[in-house]
Structure 1
């Protein structure tokens, strides 16, 4: 079709097509499009287009708004005139929208992608009502005849279609509209011009029933206002634009607003960067150790309570804000998890990676974490850490906007505070907030998080901040982190009063060593630890030896140990283990010592690590259920005992369903260049059904576009996750992410992430299908 998105795509070169695909990652989702026609369907899908639009800067949003106000397709000159843009700014903004597939040029017009034409933001583009082409077809022929006569337009015939064409032509002629209004009575002219400036009628002034004459009768008779049934009259967009006059220009802000700055020397930023990076890593390790020793309990409402938060902060020596952030990051990285109502280290966490790798991982997780742990909501306050209700899918985009705003500052300058960034951030991501007045606490939360992680120092981006902002491609995040940790202090001064002093930001390995064998007393430019019997015992409890502790401390100090410290370590080591405590998972009792001796010697029960406590009692290292199972597998017939020696009643458990599909999602590497090379030259039409699943889906879901049917068929074949927009039996719309789907026509049975259970969906009620990554 001439002027269509697919036809325009067919005219792009491979390089241009690859550039578009690199901006629209939703086009790369499985199953990859087979033709340019299918790619066009995917690019113009409502969710994909709106997600791409949400990442646009303010001038791109303003450009699209003007195009929507002009009906979704308009001549370049008309858009340029309404924006009042300089040619260079116009070209730059247009090119950015074209590269995202949101606007394309064809047939001498600029076309806006379909989901944006009805303008999903606010009351309408530029505050205007629907176009005359949307409103007038709902009127009767006699109403159209009255409008044509009032505008002074001569129709080609008397049929409704001909009357409609004449009315649309008359209202589309701006000079004619202005002449008609200029000839109106003064009261009518003032009323109509006021509505044109506002774009709508205020309140319920336009609803008149029971034969009362409307004050808008004159305007209604000329199509300047249109009233459908008894609803409030609407002014067609063409009329409002005509009456605003040729000098009217839509808002257009091509340049980012300035940010208040102060001097931020490179030396000061680098020093604070090194200190904050080491401190972040050190405090994260302390929080993990604290959660291992005393796991914080979970609130009934979810998350970690204030009392537990303060206790953890006191144990680790960090602030409550810092502990909030470390708990959230540790949980997001899978290092902490809820077990038995408490937050404890994940069983599969394994050995910790090197310090640089751990910090780099923390930073990557922070950049993409859909939560704002340090947000002070003016209405609800601050939510509990790890509260599942505090999900904020826009958080990654907000962090990116803050970092991008700081990246635009001149060298040697830093923002004087988060409040200075409000205008710049809302310019870069205008759709993050409905009202810029609510933005300050969100930006302050990101600012504070970034300072704690060493991403911001003295209001300027540090090396890791520049990497995360994408402005320093020559350095990787791992390299920037390694440089920061190398700048920390790796030497300690051991004193005879059993204290250790580090005259600078301690290296993570050194802080970890001292936190293990001593207790920290102060932080700051210099940090102080104190050795004591409990602190040395703590190190021995974790498997360290006295010789190992001495050698590590001597290597860190570069000298021998002070005599009091050496005596302390030797004394504690000599006494350590005089009294032992052995773990006992469960006990096996039997009145026949011979039978217990047989069980103790049974080769098949070695994994229980049985030990004899008494002639009639054995200790097992495994829990009750596993011990019972092992004994039964060996041919014995044991029974469990409850409290007070009462028999333990065992009921068969129903088979547990997997919460996640066993089949992994496709991970085949695909690049925009590869996909562009394969799509280039393919037909501008959607593909035909490839197999029986596609053909069956075409019969069951003929109401869906081909690209969405193929996506659903792919989910059935592979079990991967996919997003659906669904209308349930009560007629209520909902969005779900489903996986491990199977077909029982006309129903889909799949695991629903929202309900965390298996659910059944009627295919006829599936309104749209999108990649799961877009369901935010």
Structure 2
């Protein structure tokens, strides 16, 4: 297939080739293919084909299924008749499949990508078995001769290949098949027609073999059923289609189903968008502050328990569902991480971000996060938050399908609920679920997440939702976030009873100011804060001045401060700092003031930053062990004392071990690595590949030729990817069979070649592992493995 596919690629224009590369970016992963033949091999690989196939909508999947039922190769007219499609719909769907390389036309026929021909989904295409071209080659020449005779076909010769060709031609002739079945005895004819309708043999007992008597012996002798080994007989797809009759049509749904909608005025959507966006940023900051002050602890089984989740929600003022989502997003962004069994902010999480940047980061992370934190599983319920086992790599595709279904709604209308999206989502991404009945809780979880983030409001996409769905080309996500937060309420009503009222969702900057200077008392449509001694002191402790606090509050209120509030701020500022508390690491005590004065003046002890607390006490900025070491180095003879004043006994340090530490490949770059130069656009790569050979490239360099000797079972393209990964240290995916014969899939990086072994960092085991090259069954770009 690869040669013919490569020939078809060679006939594409530069623009058509560039369009194909845009649809299939996995095929251009480093090292970039050097010929059209190598590109054809990558485009035909099972993982690449399936990655492109799962992104197809329902009519594309149905088209491919019909072509698989026809044997993987069929005339255009036959496919069009089987689908019963209108010419325009047929042409549109075919063009979409051709653009992503899953179907290609050649010699007047349509060819399906090889990995899809045996139909890896369900029991078979259209409920049929495999084609005769897959089933018959396993039969003996004697069996093929009997089939040819039963069908009434004249073989061109007596060799097995000639008998196989004649048998395939006879079974592909629908009229001949119907005539043969019509001449069958009544009982056998009924059994065969039942199998054709059902797609399988239902009452097989396992007692009959080819050539023996039994209810299916007549059909087995004519190839209408084929029995592989001891398994149940199978009906070739061509036979089942012929017996279903010329009026049979495969399912084909070219138009997306409608979604139940209700009025969603733009002004209402915009207002809720602003409120939800401001609330999301405010609550995320509150969650980060809460985890910094009181880090929640991890369950022994992993994740965050319900008790800690409720405690965090109570401290931050958010709902449990909202806090669950913010924790997941913060962890996915790298803002929170487990440290000594507790969830604490990382260095990035401790750094404040402007509100618009925070919102943009949250929305973008949510779109690509491979988890569904708000999913209520019908069998297992909702698991612990941040449980490492709750991983769903299809979550980004599900979110994209939900947003895409909402993007097609007319202006001023919104979906009435997540249940209205089930049909539209399963049409847009039919391979997400084995059964559409499983979809509702998943769609409901995405709906709730989108509402909390402000991506969805009143069943309609907001500005950030439209950007994510790709329907707002003129606006970036950053611009949409800025617009949302600017629309939030930026005014506060300051009252004489030392309260502040915000009559709407507060803008993040206003919420941050009030959270610093006052204590929140209520949330809702209007939020209320109360000023007090402790809250104003908190702002002064954070480095704010009384003048700065007054000016910020006056700017937010648009008027002078009420007299009680101004007096409170001035009074707390006047008393602030009357008593100071200084940190010290240890104290040096001595009954001789003169000796302490000598130590305080000693130039060699300046690094201790000594301060006199009393005539007999000095304070040191260094801990006890460092202070003792410095004093001894200066010629003094000090001794450490415990909490009770008793001298500390210092034990000799353990003898150091001279065993070298185990080296780690994490973060190490192999010597001689280099960054591959890459064309900037698919157009550049298309220009380079256009006109090259449809054959695979030769392995001229020494490393490539050496890899060919080590791994002759791998294709040229796979060996090139493996050599590139060894040279550059970049990640690569492998299908591997271990010493026990168990297959596994790994992503490895920082590879070192010690023939015949590969020593690499394994992401699955999070450790260095050794792999035998002979056990590597396939090599794939890492982008297809994540």
Distance change >3 Å, CA 454–CA 691, structure 1 → 2: same
User: In the alignment, does 2:715 pair up with 1:705?
Assistant: yes
Residue 253 (structure 1) aligns with: 253
Residue 730 (structure 2) aligns with: 720
Query: Does the aligned pair in 2 maintain the 1:600–1:611 contact within 8 Å?
Result: no
Distance change >3 Å, CA 143–CA 323, structure 1 → 2: same
SS in 2 for 1:431: helix
Partners of 1:400 and 1:147 in 2: how far apart? 51
1:539 Cα deviation (Å)?
2.0
Distance change >3 Å, CA 229–CA 680, structure 1 → 2: same
User: In the alignment, does 2:189 pair up with 1:192?
Assistant: no
1:585 Cα deviation (Å)?
6.0
Query: Does the aligned pair in 1 maintain the 2:665–2:750 contact within 8 Å?
Result: no
Residues 46-83 of structure 1, C-alpha deviations (whole Å, 9 max, x = no match):
11111111111011111111111111111111111111
Query: Does the aligned pair in 1 maintain the 2:3–2:37 contact within 8 Å?
Result: no
Residue 762 (structure 1) aligns with: 772
1:662 Cα deviation (Å)?
3.6
Number of positions where the alignment pairs a residue of Structure 1 with one of Structure 2: 774
Partners of 1:230 and 1:771 in 2: how far apart? 39
SS in 2 for 1:697: helix
SS in 1 for 2:430: coil
1:616 Cα deviation (Å)?
8.2
Residue 300 (structure 1) aligns with: 300
Query: Does the aligned pair in 1 maintain the 2:456–2:462 contact within 8 Å?
Result: yes
Partners of 2:638 and 2:128 in 1: how far apart? 80
Residue 655 (structure 1) aligns with: 661
Distance change >3 Å, CA 196–CA 586, structure 1 → 2: farther
Residue 676 (structure 1) aligns with: 686
Distance change >3 Å, CA 217–CA 582, structure 1 → 2: farther
User: In the alignment, does 2:398 pair up with 1:398?
Assistant: yes
1:101 Cα deviation (Å)?
1.1
Partners of 1:251 and 1:622 in 2: how far apart? 78
Distance change >3 Å, CA 136–CA 450, structure 1 → 2: same
Partners of 2:157 and 2:133 in 1: how far apart? 19
User: In the alignment, does 2:763 pair up with 1:753?
Assistant: yes
Query: Does the aligned pair in 2 maintain the 1:659–1:756 contact within 8 Å?
Result: no
Residue 421 (structure 2) aligns with: 421
Partners of 1:380 and 1:667 in 2: how far apart? 49
Residue 55 (structure 2) aligns with: 55
Judge which range, 466-475 or 161-170, deviates more.
161-170
SS in 1 for 2:432: coil
Residue 379 (structure 1) aligns with: 379
Query: Does the aligned pair in 2 maintain the 1:207–1:231 contact within 8 Å?
Result: no
Query: Does the aligned pair in 2 maintain the 1:588–1:618 contact within 8 Å?
Result: yes
Distance change >3 Å, CA 407–CA 348, structure 1 → 2: closer
1:382 Cα deviation (Å)?
1.1
SS in 2 for 1:570: helix
SS in 2 for 1:509: helix
Gaps of 5+ in 1: none
Residue 434 (structure 1) aligns with: 434
Judge which range, 564-573 or 320-329, deviates more.
564-573
Distance change >3 Å, CA 211–CA 227, structure 1 → 2: closer
1:689 Cα deviation (Å)?
2.2
Partners of 2:258 and 2:66 in 1: how far apart? 25
Judge which range, 227-236 or 626-635, deviates more.
626-635
1:286 Cα deviation (Å)?
1.0
Distance change >3 Å, CA 499–CA 201, structure 1 → 2: same
Partners of 1:477 and 1:636 in 2: how far apart? 65
Partners of 1:359 and 1:597 in 2: how far apart? 59
Judge which range, 94-103 or 564-573, deviates more.
564-573
User: In the alignment, does 2:93 pair up with 1:83?
Assistant: no
Distance change >3 Å, CA 343–CA 580, structure 1 → 2: farther
Partners of 1:100 and 1:632 in 2: how far apart? 76
1:488 Cα deviation (Å)?
1.4
1:761 Cα deviation (Å)?
0.3
1:557 Cα deviation (Å)?
1.1
Distance change >3 Å, CA 577–CA 194, structure 1 → 2: farther
1:205 Cα deviation (Å)?
3.3
SS in 2 for 1:4: helix
SS in 2 for 1:736: strand
Partners of 1:551 and 1:637 in 2: how far apart? 57
Query: Does the aligned pair in 2 maintain the 1:206–1:214 contact within 8 Å?
Result: no
User: In the alignment, does 2:481 pair up with 1:471?
Assistant: no
Residue 232 (structure 2) aligns with: 232
Give the TM-score of the pair, scaled to structure 1.
0.93
Residue 743 (structure 1) aligns with: 753
Query: Does the aligned pair in 1 maintain the 2:407–2:461 contact within 8 Å?
Result: yes
SS in 2 for 1:390: coil
1:591 Cα deviation (Å)?
12
Query: Does the aligned pair in 2 maintain the 1:336–1:343 contact within 8 Å?
Result: yes
1:347 Cα deviation (Å)?
2.1
Partners of 1:641 and 1:754 in 2: how far apart? 50
Partners of 2:76 and 2:635 in 1: how far apart? 86
Residue 553 (structure 1) aligns with: 553
User: Where in structure 2 are the equivalents of 1:419-568 lying within 5 Å?
Assistant: 419-568=419-568
Partners of 2:247 and 2:457 in 1: how far apart? 47
Partners of 1:588 and 1:669 in 2: how far apart? 67
Judge which range, 528-537 or 36-45, deviates more.
528-537
Partners of 1:642 and 1:688 in 2: how far apart? 76
Residue 170 (structure 2) aligns with: 170
SS in 1 for 2:504: coil
1:326 Cα deviation (Å)?
0.8
> CA-atom RMSD, angstroms?
3.1
Residue 148 (structure 1) aligns with: 148
Judge which range, 155-164 or 486-495, deviates more.
155-164
1:647 Cα deviation (Å)?
4.4
Partners of 1:739 and 1:359 in 2: how far apart? 33
Query: Does the aligned pair in 1 maintain the 2:67–2:74 contact within 8 Å?
Result: yes
Residues 364-406 of structure 1, C-alpha deviations (whole Å, 9 max, x = no match):
1111111111111111111222111111111111100000000
Distance change >3 Å, CA 566–CA 680, structure 1 → 2: same
Query: Does the aligned pair in 2 maintain the 1:130–1:237 contact within 8 Å?
Result: yes
Distance change >3 Å, CA 76–CA 665, structure 1 → 2: same
1:3 Cα deviation (Å)?
6.7
Judge which range, 588-597 or 205-214, deviates more.
588-597
Residue 359 (structure 1) aligns with: 359
Residues 684-733 of structure 1, C-alpha deviations (whole Å, 9 max, x = no match):
12222253322221221121111111111111111111111111111111
Judge which range, 637-646 or 553-562, deviates more.
637-646
Partners of 2:635 and 2:707 in 1: how far apart? 54
Residue 106 (structure 1) aligns with: 106
Partners of 1:623 and 1:318 in 2: how far apart? 44
1:605 Cα deviation (Å)?
7.6
SS in 1 for 2:771: strand
Residues 243-283 of structure 1, C-alpha deviations (whole Å, 9 max, x = no match):
11111111111011111110111111111111111111111
Query: Does the aligned pair in 2 maintain the 1:402–1:446 contact within 8 Å?
Result: yes
1:410 Cα deviation (Å)?
1.0
Partners of 1:208 and 1:591 in 2: how far apart? 106
Query: Does the aligned pair in 2 maintain the 1:273–1:484 contact within 8 Å?
Result: yes
1:6 Cα deviation (Å)?
1.0
1:26 Cα deviation (Å)?
0.5
Distance change >3 Å, CA 444–CA 657, structure 1 → 2: farther
Residue 27 (structure 2) aligns with: 27
